[in-house]
Each structure stands twice: as structure tokens, then as C-alpha cells.
Amino acid sequence: MAALATALRTADLRPATVADIPILLDLIHRAFAEYQGRLDPPSGAPRESAASLQKLFDMGEQAVLAVDGADPVGCAFLSHHGVEMYVHRLAVAPTRRKQGIGRALMAYAHARALAAACTYVRVGVRLALPENIAFYERLGYRILCEACHPGYSRPTFVHMVLELIENDARRVEVVPYDLAWPARYAAEAAALRRRLGDNVVAIHHIGSTAIPGLAAKPIIDIMPVVRDLGEVDARIQQMAELGYTPRGEYGLPGRRYFFKGSPAHHTHHVHVYQEGNPEINRHLALRDYLRVHSLKAAAYGELKQSLAARYPANVEAYIAEKDGLVRALEAEALDWYHVQGRRGEMRKVEIVIDAMLPTDWPRVHAIYEEGIATGHATFEQAAPDWQSWDAKHLPTCRLVARRDGEVVGWTALSPVSARAVYAGVAEESIYIAAAFRGQGIGRQLLQALISAAEAAGIWTLQTGIFPENTASVALHQACGFRIVGRRERIGQMHGVWRDVLLMERRSQTVGV
């Protein structure tokens, strides 16, 4: 706040209102006049109007005005989105440059960002204005990434950020595997897919929380693969609305890294790569290798637990000590991954468990119809419309399995009773597309559903299955369901009385 105190000796700072639009407009026009002819594309400041500034206020943006007596000497606009405060239209009167006014305006923005619980402040600076880049660097900002204006193929500006809480001394916590981790991943992956849009090719759960049974730091690592990394840079604000702080490449060229949570307590890490980046295979190979080689995974988990006990407050030492084993495992995993690929045993595309979206309904409906056609999935003779299905199922715990973005299976819960005493009991349904049965997708879906249900406070899952549907019975038994009874000749299908096996799974962690 020293810069703010210094500037206040020559200027006063106050929030600007719509009544100040003529003053703000004049400041912006005067401050940016000297850039005419220097910028490509040209600055939009000369075209700024009272209507465009009014629109900013209408959108909820804040503005700050610096005045010296009756003379306005500087201004800036502040746009708050999630954990981000974006500062733009910073303007200082040409005759008042190098007097600390720009610093004071930025210090004001930093204070407002802290008050709004933001984790960082972002600005965009033209590459053609190195003196402006240097100004922000002196304030502690760092270049996050280069970016292009629309219609330009070459970089024209940089995103620069200042993290407001610099202490990143996270404690090292390694905990036993948590069955809720897949559900946490699925929920976050669905949110990321909505924010990143059609640019997403696939989203993968990576890192230790993606390996069943492995002790890990309770941080969900997610790897979106995109068509264009530049589009990710254009969606920093959308990521901030989800609670993510950007750190650019963060030591790995071609990556965009984000973390969620406070600097001292991360809950999620997102590592975005453009398709074709070799880092994608490195992450997937290690994950899949440890999923298959349980003894290797166990040894890795034991090392992590011992190092966490030795270095509970030193994450750098923790990482350094396990680096040797990680590198060895990565080398083994890549060799194994390539061998499996040559044999045709490696899945070309990962199955991603994701939250069901209303836009998934056409595929969900088609898969439902395929199940009905077998004659052994349900008494129903036709799949309902979306409105009917939506009304009968719980709004939570609706999951789909995606292969290369296509829905190939789904599962959901419906309530068994309106009575409060049965609030934690739900009936489960699961359907897999005919072309993808027998590939383990049902088990992945059902295990994710169990985790999601327990996270939602459901203590008992039940389902009714025709005895002839032996694959479904076996799947449920493998996931902890037991047969509690047989309802004989409970209903007719095409004139034939059918029996139904009643199966249930009681949670060992919820309602105990």
C-alpha cells in the first residue's frame, strides 16, 4: 500500500460512477492518443464512447478515478469474475506520468481484489509497448502467456498476472485412497467441459487420485486435451469463475496449468495440452501402468507416505525425494504403453466418466432403447421422453461414460419413497451401448455412481434385475451388491410372467 499512500499526497482516489463517464472518457482519449500509429491492431480507445463506458457499468464493472483538486489525473476499470480481478482501461493524464498515479491506481485495484477474495489480478498488455510491460513487472506481475487479437495469427499482447497471496508453502498431506475421488473428478470434468466448450477433445483423470487403492495427496489432477491452446488462453476468465488461478506453462512448455483452492491448500490441478503433445502419453502411460501393476503402485504409495511423514512442511523436498522413483516408473510405463499399443491391447481412447447433461439425452435415449430391445433389461416397452425421465430421477448422481466425446453408457438414481426415513435409499439403473458391452465400462460407471451416491448421502442402493440378465447380476455382485430376494412372477412381459432379483448395496461409510 506504499504506492497508494505516496500518490495520495498529490491525488485522491475514489470510486467512479456513471456520473463520471464524461471525465473517464476524456482521460482515456487523452492517455491513449500517443499510441496512435504504434499499435497493430489499432487501439480501441479512440473509439471509446459514453455508450461503451455505460455498458461497462451496466455489466457491473467498477471504476476508480484519481483527482488532484479539481483535475482528474487517472482512472481504471475493474472487472471481477470468480477469483480474478481484471484491470483494464488504465489511463493516466499525459502531464502526470511518472508521478506514482498508475501505481496508486493498481494498488487500489489490488486492495479491491483482496476485499473480493480474489487470488490474482490480471492485465493485458500490448507486445508493442515494452515500457508498459516493464511497468507491471516492477509491480510484481509476471507474463502468463502471449496471445493474439481476433483475426491475427501472431501474438499481439500478453496476459500478465499478480498473485495476491505469494506464500505457496503447502503442507504435504498423503491420505489413503478415497472412493469419492472419481465422483469429484467427474463433477469437475463436466464443469470444465462446459467452460472450455467445443475446443475440448477429451478430458482425463490423471495423477495418483486416478489410481484405485493408491495413497495420494487429496488433489484431483485433470488433463483436458484441446484442439487449440490459444482458445484456452482466451478463457482465463471462465476458468476464474470456476475458482481456478492460472500459472501459464509453469515449467512445462506447451502446457496451461491452473490450480483451484488457496495457494496453501490446492483442491484441483488442471493441466491443459493441445492434442499431439507428447506429455499427454506420458501422463496416461503412468496412470494406466500403475492401474495394472498393483505392486508397483503399492511401493509408490508407501514411498509417498513415508516422505510425507518426513517432510510435512516442505513440498519441494517431498517432490525431490520421490523424483527418482517417478522417473523410473515413467520410463517403465512408456515402454509398456508402447508395447501394448503395438499389440493392439492399449485402448486407443479412454473411457471418461462424466456428469450427464441435458444435451446427452438423445444418446441416453438411444442406449435405453437398445437395452429395452434385449428383453432382459426392464419391463418398460419404450424409453420415455426427456421430461418424464428427468422428473422420475434424482437431479444428482446422473453419470455417463464417454468415448471420444460420445456417450456409450449411463447410470442414474430414482427415489424409492417420498418418506423422509427413506431419503438415503435410491434405486439404480445402468445401461451400456450394445457395441461397448463386455469392456469394463459398466463397472467403471457403477463404481463412480457408488462414490457419487455416498458423497450425496445415499446409504442404500437397490435395483431389480431379471435372473436371465446374468451379466448385470455379476456386475452388481462385483461392485458389492447382494441378492436379498427373488420376486416371483412379479409382472408380465409379452404374456410371460417374469421373476425379478432384488439386489442392494449398503454403504459402509454413510449412515453408519
Q: What is the DSSP letter of 510?
A: S
Q: Is 250 left (phi over 0), alpha (psi -120 to 50) or beta?
A: left
Matching fold, domains 2-163 and 351-506: yes
State the pTM of this model. Answer: 0.70
Cα distances from 145 to residues 78, 224, 230, 373, in angstroms, run 21, 18, 9, 53
Q: What is the pLDDT of residue 347?
A: 47
pLDDT tens-digit readout, 153-181: 999 999 999 999 766 567 899 999 887 78
Specify the pLDDT at position 169. Answer: 63
Chain segment 472-485, per-residue pLDDT in tens? 999 999 999 999 99
Has domain 351-506 been given CATH number 3.40.50.2300?
no
CA nearest to 318, candidates 170, 211, 213: 170
C-alpha 7/C-alpha 437 separation (Å) is 69
Q: How far apart are CA 35 and CA 22, in angstroms?
A: 21
pLDDT-flagged residues of the chain (< 70): 1-10, 166-169, 341-350, 404
The identity of residue 104, as a single letter, is A
Q: Strands 220-226 and 200-206, how do they pair?
A: antiparallel
Q: Which amino acid is at 241?
A: E
Distance in angstroms (rounded) separating the CA atoms of residues 329 and 336:
10
Would residue 164 be called left, alpha or beta, if left means φ above 0 and alpha means ψ between -120 and 50 degrees?
Answer: alpha
Cβ pair 448, 353 in contact under 8 A: yes
Q: Strands across the sheet with 12-15, in order?
A: 12-15, 62-68, 71-81, 84-92, 120-126, 157-163, 142-147
- The CATH code for residues 181-343 is 3.30.460.10
**How far is 80 from 113, CA to CA, in rounded Å?**
8
Annotated domain spans of the chain: 2-163, 181-343, 351-506
Does domain 2-163 fall under CATH 3.40.630.30? My reply is yes
Report how far residue 333's alpha carbon sits from residue 493's, in angstroms, rounded to the nearest whole number.
Answer: 51
Cβ-contact 256, 232 below 8 angstroms: yes
The SS3 call for residue 82 is coil
